[in-house]
Amino acid sequence: MDNSKEWLRHINASGEPIIPSLQSSISTIMKKPEGYTLDELFDVNALAGKYRDLWHHVWVDNDLDVILAPPADHTAVLHDEYGFAHYTALWNLL
């Protein structure tokens, strides 16, 4: 949700093409290519805060120290064949 598309400026400045695995994820990264309004950004951040709070209660109520989870639902893929990291996106949000 980077309205400035800073990541894309860095890629373009490198002179290198966008790698296929990133190209396949751009539709996920840029749901609204025109950018988000301040209200939309606020709503998403508020929702993420509620989600983190729910997970906090899961951890505390169940006396958890760690959750072991697979990073993907498959074995290793060929170089530059990986797309969006669905299994790790949750932990990045938290």
Residue burial 46-80, b: 16+ Cβ < 10 Å; e: rest: eeeeeeeeebeeeeeeeeeeeeeeeeeeeeeeeee
Where helices occur in the chain by DSSP H, the ranges are 6-14, 20-23, 26-29, 38-61, 86-93
The whole-number pLDDT of residue 87 equals 80
| CA 54 – CA 61 distance, rounded (Å) | 10
Q: What is the mean pLDDT of residues 11-40?
A: 86
Q: Specify the pTM.
A: 0.67
3-state secondary structure of 36: coil
pLDDT tens digits for range 37-65: 999 999 999 999 999 999 999 999 999 99
